[in-house]
Structure 1
Amino acid sequence: MTEIIDVIGLALILAGALLCLTAAIGLLRFHDVPARLHAATKPQVLGLILIAIAIALMSRSWQVAAFLVPVILIQLATAPLSAHMVGRQAYRNGTLDERSLMVDELAESKETPPAAGG
């Protein structure tokens, strides 16, 4: 039974490492901000979760699993928030290709500055 758990753990580590590698390649290869944010958040977070599950399985310790739960939760909370903030700043700076947007929900915020009160 321990050999099966070890093989599952190794497969999860390999899958997680490949996802993290694809995230890194996506950051280098994609040209626009939304595509880079997608590459930085989605596969990287899933890769971290897979690696954390593998560590918890292979350590066979409830203390290690309990330690990894907050790590995963913090990653799930901070990755989308940071991607949102970077994407919004790219929009405000004008470094975002507005022609590629299907819906521009922030178009009216460009007309009236937030500090203008209107």
Structure 2
Amino acid sequence: MTLDAILDLTSLVLILLGAILCLTAAIGLLRFPDVLTRLHAATKPQVLGLILICVAIALSLRAWPVIAFLVPVILMQLATAPLSAHMVGRQAYRNGTIGEASLYVDELAESRGTPPAAGG
């Protein structure tokens, strides 16, 4: 097998794995019962699936402009997914949507009475 065939086969496998991870993330968003597990499903497999698909595209096209375009896409996803999950989880905690029985450690218990604008 030539190097081009090996890279094409590798990109095919990576796209398939990335698509499966994105599909499991979507199924997890629909099937999981509470906010914390849905946040886990929305961030971890989806981000890894996107990274795998971007790497597969870079391997398939083998061009520097494509890589230069995909690197910021991956970096923005890595920067925004944890931040948005943190903000959604924090708001769910403040609203009381997260059951206290499901928390092992409650580090925000003392800030529960603090208004959001007070910096707590």
TM-score for both structures, normalised by structure 2: 0.93
Q: Is 1:12 the counterpart of 2:14 in the alignment?
A: yes
Return the alpha-carbon distance in structure 2 between the equivalents of residues 20 and 117 of structure 1.
36
Return the alpha-carbon distance in structure 1 between the equivalents of residues 79 and 24 of structure 2.
21
Return the alpha-carbon distance in structure 2 between the equivalents of residues 89 and 110 of structure 1.
11
Q: Unaligned stretches of 5+ in structure 2?
A: none
Q: Is 1:84 the counterpart of 2:71 in the alignment?
A: no
The correspondence of residues 1-118 of structure 1 with structure 2, limited to 5 A, is 1-115=3-117
Q: Percent identity?
A: 77
Deviation at 1:116, TM superposition (A): 6.2
Return the alpha-carbon distance in structure 2 between the equivalents of residues 67 and 112 of structure 1.
43
Residues 51 and 103 of structure 1: CA distance in aligned 2, closer, same or farther (over 3 Å): same
Amino acid corresponding to residue 40 of structure 1 in structure 2? A
Return the alpha-carbon distance in structure 2 between the equivalents of residues 100 and 69 of structure 1.
37
Residues 90 and 3 of structure 1: CA distance in aligned 2, closer, same or farther (over 3 Å): same
SS of 1:102's equivalent?
Answer: coil
Deviation at 1:117, TM superposition (A): 8.6
CA-atom RMSD in angstroms: 1.6
Residues 116 and 26 of structure 1: CA distance in aligned 2, closer, same or farther (over 3 Å): closer
Number of matched residues?
118
Return the alpha-carbon distance in structure 1 between the equivalents of residues 20 and 55 of structure 2.
15
Alpha-carbon displacement from aligned partner over 1:26-78 (angstroms, at most 9, x marks no partner): 00110110100000000000000000000000001011011100000000000
Return structure 1 stretches of 4+ with deviation > 4 angstroms.
114-118
